[in-house]
Structure 1
Amino acid sequence: MEKTIYVVTMLRSRNLLTRKYGKGFFNDFKTISKEKLYEILPQVPDIGKSIFSFNYQFGPAYIAWYKAFMELKLEQQEIWENIWLMNERMITIIPRGLLHLAGKSYINGFKKKAAMHAERQLKKELHPYDWQIAYREVSDNTFEIDITECGLKKLAHDFDADGLLPGICRMDYMVSYLMGNGFERTKTLGDGDDCCNCRYHREGLCAWSPEKGFEGRR
């Protein structure tokens, strides 16, 4: 899955990055990031079956892209913005109407599985790189998850890519926006807070609007 995520996103992002930086830059980026990915993959721990497995599988590609952009001398904010745009190209393979349907199905499943994840956590059944959470059901429409340990944060640290965060944390807003779910948060581990205090709504709105900045929103 990790290789598929990388390949599909690169194909979807080729025109975007070529228009922005030129063909030579894209070819260099592709060469460097592919080398980084294949260096990283054998060293990535397998966290097994987890509700966060899909998130975790994006980690190697994120780290490879981040390190390649850094090697090509881009500033950190620009790297975050490029990875946001690349993810948007990946996600919008799916038409918006189907994305909204998928969003409702995903959030319903995530709500059910989060409680089970918390139970497995209490039994010490989670991999050390899995997410550690506190789960609260607020209503039929709303639930909260406090993330106290993040697998992507640990993985980024292992590969000297701590600067990937909190940029990738912000993509939760983009994904919620595209999938038609409500999402709020005021703290993230990537910003140095004690947790990521995520609040999800089955029915609700979530603005993306990165051009407005993230003041007061993490």
Structure 2
Amino acid sequence: MDRAKLLYRLGMRRAKERMLNDFGNGFWEEFKANADGWMQEILPRVPDIGNSVFRTSYDMCPSYIAWYKSLMAMGFSSEEAGEELWVMSEDLLKLIPKRLLKVPMKGYMAGFRDDAALHEQRGKAGKLHPYDWQIVFTDQDDDHFEIDITECAMMKLSKDFDALGMFPAVCRIDFLAANIMESGFSRTKTLADGDDCCNCMYEVGGTCEWNPERGFTDRK
């Protein structure tokens, strides 16, 4: 859980100044106390799924749960809490300098593609942790591939802490991440929206818009 703790600390550090400016010291102190308390409760109960291709997303999930639970306790609606999670995620992702992403991204995506194919094989062989993602991988061409998620580890973990209300807002962060990492990403279905899968489509060297004002009807 070391990476989960690190991501939480970085997220809180990035959120502090903005929350103090936007909401005031009293809000920040209450939010931090609530979130810290939830992290202390959550982390010992998080199953270790091992070296999953989606490990970073899994390691972020305790932070999302703690932040969501804290915001809900402070009177936010699920929609308002989800939008605050978008802002917190953007603050955290912007720690990555864009100049470091331009050259390595193709290599990262190539590795991710290979790892996803192996992940599918492990799932078919029954070698994944029960909380891990189950996927169907489709290699389309040199620049495009698709990952259909049929079981989501983040939803499984969130259910344990009565935090499913943070979905589908948390799903939309995939568009934000792709935008910041300058990678093509699109999706028209998610499990959190009641669909049969999350049909995640990736384009190496493509682009992805992050524009919540447009809504997420056609790009779930």
**Please, what TM-score do these two structures have when normalized by structure 2?**
0.96
- After TM superposition, the runs of 4+ consecutive aligned structure 1 residues lying more than 3 A away are 100-103
Instruction: Give 2:113's aligned amino acid.
Output: K
SS in 1 for 2:11: helix
Contact 1:100 1:178 in 2 (8 A): no
User: Aligned to 1:138, what secondary structure does the other structure show?
Assistant: strand
In structure 2, how many angstroms separate the alpha carbons of the residues matched to 1:85 and 1:95?
18
1:184 CA drift (Å): 0.7
Displacement of 1:99 in angstroms is 2.8
Residues 89-122 of structure 1 deviation map (CA, whole Å, 9 limit, x = unaligned): 1111121121333433322111010111111111
User: What is the aligned partner in structure 2 of residue 22 from structure 1?
Assistant: 24
- Which of these residues, 11, 14, 22, is aligned with residue 12 of structure 1? 14
Question: Structure 2 CA distance, aligned partners of 1:169 and 1:83?
Answer: 11
**2:196 aligned partner:** 194
Name the counterpart of 2:187: 185
Aligned residue for 2:93?
91
**DSSP-derived class of the 2:206 partner:** coil
TM-score, normalised relative to structure 1? 0.97
* Whole-Å separation in 1 of the counterparts to 2:170 and 2:203: 21
Deviates more, 1:44-53 or 1:96-105: 96-105
Q: Pick from 13, 30, 33 the counterpart of residue 31 of structure 1.
A: 33
Question: 1:173-209 deviations in whole A, cap 9, x for unaligned?
Answer: 0000000100010000111111000100102111010
> Deviations 1:46-98 (Å, cap 9, x if unpaired)?
00111011110001110000000000001222211111111111111121121
In angstroms, what is the RMSD of aligned CA positions?
A: 1.0
Matches within 5 A, 1:121-160: 121-160=123-162
Stretches of structure 2 lacking an aligned partner (at least 5 in a row): none
Checking the alignment, whether the CA contact within 8 Å between 1:142 and 1:202 is kept in structure 2 is: yes
Equivalent residue of 1:200, what SS?
strand
Structure 1 residues not aligned, in runs of 5+: none
1:102-121 correspondence runs (5 A): 102-121=104-123
Structure 1 residues 175 and 100 mapped into 2: Cα distance closer, same or farther (>3 Å)?
A: farther
Moved more, 151-160 or 102-111: 102-111
8 Å contact kept, 1:102–1:179 = no
Question: SS in structure 2 opposite 1:217?
Answer: coil
The Cα offsets for residues 109-137 of structure 1, whole Å up to 9 and x where unpaired, read as 11010111111111110000000000000
In structure 2, the residue matched to 1:164 is: 166
